[in-house]
Structure 1
Amino acid sequence: MKNQHQDSKIYSILSNLIICIISITLFCIILFPASVYADVFIPDSEYLGYYDYEGIYTVVGNVKNQNDFALIPTITISIIDDETKITKTLNHVPIPAMTDIPFKLKFPEIHGKNPVVLEADLKYVKTKKNSIPIQIIYDKTLVTYDDGHVTGRIKNIGNQTVYNPKIFAIVHGYETQILDVAQNIERIEKIEPEEILNFTIYPDPSVSEPVRFYSCFAPVDTTVIPVTAKKNGGEFDFRYDSGAWYSAAEFINDGTTLTMRGYNSYPLETYANFEFPPISGKEKFDVTINDKPVDFIQSVDEMGQWHVAYLVGPQSQGILKITGFEKGLPPELPKIPQWIKTNAEWWTTDQISDSEFMEGIDFLFKKGVIFVAGKKIIVESEWYIPSWFKTIASWWSEEKISDDDFINAIENLVKQKIIVI
């Protein structure tokens, strides 16, 4: 009887302990929702909104990853502007373990006197995707000058050429913890393996407080800015990459001329590279700034997109005009971009790995081209595709089956968990 009484007492204690643990767990779930991560966060002292030199509202911050694994964060930023809530989402670059990488996001829609930046919503997925293999050289060549700019050097520590890298850094003041997140202004076209190149960073000219130091230097590759302008009764989507800022995009002259206002507030020459979808593929462009001709390069990339690139003078502004667009809108693009079909051909001939091919399939899920109800996010390390699927991919790359047939095959095999992505 004594042993039964002791067992009953122990059972009671354990039951109460389990109930206590469950209660605490439920309390923590309510208090700390899934979107908050103790080891991935944006410090309040490194999160700021301000109007830049050209009057564009800008939000800067720094994502800290204190986990022992790499991750890709998604940052959702909301701002209250005269009782209107404006929200934008930034898919950031891969952040290695125990590393910080800053970010910068523009809100040209905001014009109020006192915008309120709400706490950022931060989510992430684990990744094994490599970060940009560029290393900042921390030695005596990394110098902050009295006027607030910094110069330094970077090295490509990988085994492949890196094209168009940008270097971001947090700018700190004496009175204010964070003044700005700034990037290199002069274009770095490419950096070869083991090559060492110089960079120069200036804070936004709106920064009036003296610069104390820079921190969290990091390479990024997500500064391409999407733009939509009305054209011939529809919408014309394009993108640009630049150390300058462009606004008020508008088509005139029956949709054959694109105008924008451009600003380069920095005391250095920078660059602009615009990417336009083709209408016929025979467009021939001309570029002027304030109606003066500009030397530029027109080229076409492997995706068939037009590129118009030129240099932008230091501390300059003006009206950019690009003429030579054809009337109308670009033809409807295929459901699946050509580069994914090219990847399929390379995969079937063992020129690229399974994971490289499946990055294209993952892209189709993210864009909503392929949809499977209830599909969960799967980390890359758990992706799987059977080798026999190469036959279907080969038929598709050779156009023996349609895009819809290929999409249906992917959706069915993902539903059956034969393909895991």
Structure 2
Amino acid sequence: MKNQHPDLKISSTLSNSIFCISTIVCFCLVLFSPVAHADVFIPDNEYHGYYDFEGIYTVVGNVKNQNDFALIPTITISVIDNETKITKTLNHVPIPPMVDIPFKLKFPEIHGQNPVVLKAELKYVKTDKPPIPIQIIYDKTLITYDDGHVTGRIKNIGNQTVYNPKIFAIVHGYEKYILDVAQNIDRIEKIEPGEILNFTIYPDPSVSEPVRFYSCFAPVDTTVIPLTTKKNNGDFDFRYDSGAWYYAAKFDEKGTTLNIKGYNSYPLETYANFEFPPISGNEKFTVTLNDESIEFIQSVDEMGFWHVAFKVESRSQGVLKISGFEKGLPPELPKIPQWIKVNTEWWITNQISDLEFLEGIDFLFEKQIISVPERDVIAESQWKIPEWVKISAEWWYEEKISDDDFLNTIENLVKRKIIVV
């Protein structure tokens, strides 16, 4: 049985889901009016904690950005557990102006019967990240089913490809106003301009209460989770992106094998993609789950970071071991990828075109290595760069000026629209 909008037959147990589908846009913006100083806030009725089916205490909430600029919030959450205060900080994904994006944070250290979640502390920094050009299509294809999952469609309304988008949503119940925060499990590799794709969101099986409806569907293009663990007497920072959850990361004494606990509570196959900074750049990894080898793909991205990606079976759990790390800690990586420096050499020696060089400059903006407020997005055919910019590029290539000097030069020229990219 499924629920459709607006005039089709609806299951009586889920009739209230029409409210979500027909009024979802205004719901997220006006349900909770902030006071004057609360331009970034988490409503009390969209913030709570619960134990999942693995006994992991979980805190979920919804961050509302009612500014006219994009920002990156830092959320500090404290939980009182048997008179002990446990605090964690979450660096949330960038939130465009007038947009809500939910979050979920796990506390495996908590074991008490009645933990108390304290009011979250919020700080933020401004960013020039534009709104994600993905639109949820609110029509009869947005359907909530009797088993609690929802299907719908998204459209890329921009003029650039969006890679690895995800759809977040708040899950509402009958007894509790907010049950959980859920996301699509199936990976969407990319969505082209004008393309329409389907998505499916399942409620976490750890949430045993019936689902009433979903709200505040939020498209995001980055959901990586940062982690830090000790390695060879120092801090080792890494990230992962997955429909599963991983925690309790720990290196062995040699610093060559990473052990990390994980589980996928969903009855669906999902994926995991771990990102590690290189130590020598010659690492060769092996991956096991519960001491059994699993298939994986090892690759390196444009910034020089290693990626270890693999499928995660439905309802799987256990200890993941990733071996092959070299001893020691990663060196500080340059701000600008080496391939852009190679491109610069080829450009100043006329081996590649202006357009090919500007693709590297555009990459620096995409990765927010440099930024310009209110930068226009234009077609590649309109990109331009004066010939004399090669002088600064040559100085940077010959290390007569630093990475920061070169980045500041490019940022200034784009801001003044001398370079158009």
TMscore range, shorter length: 0.7 to 0.9
Once residues 130 and 52 of structure 2 are traced to their aligned partners in structure 1, the CA distance between those partners, rounded to angstroms, is 33
Task: Give the drift of 1:338.
Answer: 3.1
CA contact (8 A) 1:93 1:221 kept: no
Task: State the match for 2:31 in structure 1.
Answer: none
Task: Give the drift of 1:125.
Answer: 6.0
Task: Give 2:399's aligned amino acid.
Answer: K
SS in 2 for 1:360: coil
Give unpaired runs (5+ residues) of structure 1. 1-34, 363-378
Task: State the match for 1:71 in structure 2.
Answer: 70
Task: Give the drift of 1:361.
Answer: 4.7
Task: State the match for 2:22 in structure 1.
Answer: none
Once residues 393 and 95 of structure 1 are traced to their aligned partners in structure 2, the CA distance between those partners, rounded to angstroms, is 33
CA contact (8 A) 1:164 1:221 kept: yes
SS in 2 for 1:55: coil
Matched, 1:360 2:361: no
Structure 1 195/101 Cα, relative in aligned 2: closer, same or farther at 3 Å? same
Task: Give the drift of 1:304.
Answer: 1.3
1:279-290 counterparts in 2 under 5 A?
279-290=279-290
Task: State the match for 1:394 in structure 2.
Answer: 393
Task: State the match for 1:43 in structure 2.
Answer: 43
Matched, 1:57 2:66: no
Give unpaired runs (5+ residues) of structure 2. 1-34, 349-353, 376-385, 417-421
Once residues 164 and 358 of structure 1 are traced to their aligned partners in structure 2, the CA distance between those partners, rounded to angstroms, is 14
Once residues 65 and 253 of structure 1 are traced to their aligned partners in structure 2, the CA distance between those partners, rounded to angstroms, is 44
Once residues 45 and 338 of structure 2 are traced to their aligned partners in structure 1, the CA distance between those partners, rounded to angstroms, is 42
Once residues 359 and 140 of structure 1 are traced to their aligned partners in structure 2, the CA distance between those partners, rounded to angstroms, is 37
Task: State the match for 2:373 in structure 1.
Answer: 380
Task: State the match for 2:89 in structure 1.
Answer: 88
Task: Give the drift of 1:80.
Answer: 3.4
Task: Give the drift of 1:402.
Answer: 5.2
SS in 2 for 1:172: strand
Greater Cα radius of gyration, structure 1 or 2: 1
Once residues 125 and 280 of structure 2 are traced to their aligned partners in structure 1, the CA distance between those partners, rounded to angstroms, is 40
CA contact (8 A) 2:232 2:253 kept: no
Structure 1 238/129 Cα, relative in aligned 2: closer, same or farther at 3 Å? closer
CA contact (8 A) 2:167 2:219 kept: yes
Greater Cα shift, 145-154 or 172-181: 145-154
Task: State the match for 1:129 in structure 2.
Answer: 129
Task: Give 1:234's aligned amino acid.
Answer: G
Structure 1 300/340 Cα, relative in aligned 2: closer, same or farther at 3 Å? closer
SS in 2 for 1:380: coil
Structure 1 405/304 Cα, relative in aligned 2: closer, same or farther at 3 Å? closer
Structure 1 47/338 Cα, relative in aligned 2: closer, same or farther at 3 Å? same
Q: Percent identity?
A: 64
Once residues 245 and 41 of structure 1 are traced to their aligned partners in structure 2, the CA distance between those partners, rounded to angstroms, is 26
Task: State the match for 1:120 in structure 2.
Answer: 120
Once residues 74 and 233 of structure 2 are traced to their aligned partners in structure 1, the CA distance between those partners, rounded to angstroms, is 33
CA contact (8 A) 1:184 1:201 kept: yes
SS in 2 for 1:406: helix
- Residues 339-375 of structure 1 show CA distances to partners (whole Å, capped at 9, x for unaligned) of 797699599968247994995356xxxxxxxxxxxxx
Task: Give the drift of 1:226.
Answer: 1.6
What is the total number of aligned residue pairs between the two structures? 358
Which TM-score applies when normalising by structure 2?
A: 0.73
Task: State the match for 1:375 in structure 2.
Answer: none
Once residues 148 and 88 of structure 2 are traced to their aligned partners in structure 1, the CA distance between those partners, rounded to angstroms, is 31
CA contact (8 A) 1:73 1:122 kept: no
Task: State the match for 1:214 in structure 2.
Answer: 214
- Residues 67-110 of structure 1 show CA distances to partners (whole Å, capped at 9, x for unaligned) of 5x34325242331333325141434423333x433222333444
Task: Give the drift of 1:268.
Answer: 0.7
